[in-house]
Structure 1
Amino acid sequence: MSTVAAASCDSQGAEEPRAEKKPLKPCCACPETKKARDACIIEKGEENCGHLIEAHKECMRALGFKI
């Protein structure tokens, strides 16, 4: 099983240049801001996380998404 995991990690690095040519899906874009936003909303509620929500929106806009 660890052989399969190692092969998966190696193949991801080889596919990076090809992935850059394909447009990102909204679900996969801005993982850092998405993770922080989601964690904040779960822990503190949406009304207390406006700054993280806006940061994620800005990241998405920078990648060309219309939000």
Structure 2
Amino acid sequence: MAFTADIRSYETSIVDRIERAIDGYKAQRALRATYRKTVHELMLLNDRDLNDLGIDRQDIPAVAREAAGLK
């Protein structure tokens, strides 16, 4: 008769799951803060400065999402 041991790692407590959820929330919140800061800073630029950067004003949200690493 063969005996096998299951050595896979499982989360053993709800505390581990809660800590992971909190870490994910903090990471997402940091990305959103980067997005908001980027939008704010780009909106402060005039159209000429944006044009020098190759950015249209309507493209600011997309540029900020890319800079923050959001989808």
Q: TM-score, normalised by structure 2?
A: 0.32
Which structure carries more helix by proportion? 1
Rg larger in structure: 2
Q: Which has the higher contact order (CA 8 A, sep 6+)?
A: 2
Q: TM-score, normalised by structure 1?
A: 0.33
